[in-house]
Amino acid sequence: MNARKTAEEIAVRHPRETSELFGHREAEAALLAAYRSGRIPHAWLIGGPQGVGKATLAYRMARFVLAHRHAQGPDVQRATTLAVDPGDHVARQVAAEAHGGLLVLERGLNDRGVLRTVITVDETRETISFFGSTAAVEGWRVCIVDTVDELNPNAANALLKILEEPPQQSLFLLVSHAPARVLPTILSRCRKLPLRPLTTEDVVRAAACAADIEAGDPTLLEAAAAAEGSVSRALTLLGGSALKLQQRTAALLASLPKVDQRELHALGDMLPLSDRVALGTFVDGVERWVSERLRGDPDANANLPRLARLAEVWEKIARAARDTADYNLERKPFVFSVFSLLAEATR
């Protein structure tokens, strides 16, 4: 067996470099059938939980379209999947971010070299020159937005303008972790393609491939079982004490509105300064707990005030989490603040 990688080492592989797709065969078939028909919708919203393969599917579709410019060609008509050989020149160009027919909108670095929290309007306006150019590449042009959730309001409006009047042979693949929050005007111009959480078996296979370990590894099986259908979450849980951190966070959340101060101190000690993986695992656990309560209340109408308070609290937590990560703030005060807010909201 190969040596276990750290979470950071596992997480560096980008979807543009990933040729395998685990699960989502129906979604893949829908994209292939639409392209083969010659009447493919110009914009798709690929939605679903984080880490289930949305961006991987988007890049898979982009490679296929760019490698097969003619929808009625025999290679397309015979194809059963969107797979493109990793050695194909298009696949190599996409992996190297060097294909003139592909534009990717994602968060970039600011003037200080720090990753922005949003996709800006200036970045989004690149679509105008990209689709207006005639010299770069012939045939299809594909724009992947990863993710549309991270567009700031001006950027979202800039994208909407080009979606309203799409150029010929243009394809937009919009990735979203929260499709319900996407602007209705953008939603109305997209074909929706929802992806479900993966089965535990598919999580094991995908994570084993990414981590280069055996699919029967006990730690991998435990991480996959706790990952709730998310490959990225399983990979995170493989690294260090992330699985124990997730379990301790879940136990404390389950005890709300009661809060054990000693357990909070112990939890805070598991989030060392500068450890972004641990902080992400903690915030991810809190977000899923809040989401389950917002979606799963059987008497939501009667509990609207309480649910509204919980949603408002989550917005405060999300902002505080971004500040904690961006400015590398102490983790323990953040942990205590999170549970204080949640305890008040759930009483």
Q: Do both 245 and 341 map to the same domain?
A: yes
Structural domain including 113 reads: 24-194
pLDDT score, position 327: 87
Q: Do both 98 and 172 map to the same domain?
A: yes
Q: Do both 58 and 164 map to the same domain?
A: yes
For residues 177 and 147, the answer to whether their CB atoms sit within 8 Å is: yes
Number of structural domains found in the chain:
2
In a domain, 214, yes or no: no
Alpha helices in 212-260 (DSSP H): 218-226, 231-238, 242-254
pLDDT score, position 135: 46
Could you read off the pLDDT of 271-292 as tens digits, one per residue? 988 888 889 889 989 988 998 8
In a domain, 219, yes or no: no
In a domain, 291, yes or no: yes
pLDDT score, position 67: 96
Q: Do both 87 and 148 map to the same domain?
A: yes
pLDDT score, position 296: 64
Q: Do both 245 and 181 map to the same domain?
A: no
For the chain, residues with pLDDT lower than 70 are 1-13, 133-137, 239-240, 296-303
Distance CA 299, CA 277 (A): 36
Q: Do both 256 and 158 map to the same domain?
A: no
Q: Do both 141 and 253 map to the same domain?
A: no
Could you read off the pLDDT of 145-198 as tens digits, one per residue? 999 999 999 999 999 999 999 988 999 999 999 898 899 999 999 999 999 999
In a domain, 312, yes or no: yes
Q: Do both 157 and 282 map to the same domain?
A: no
Distance CA 43, CA 186 (A): 9
pLDDT score, position 61: 98
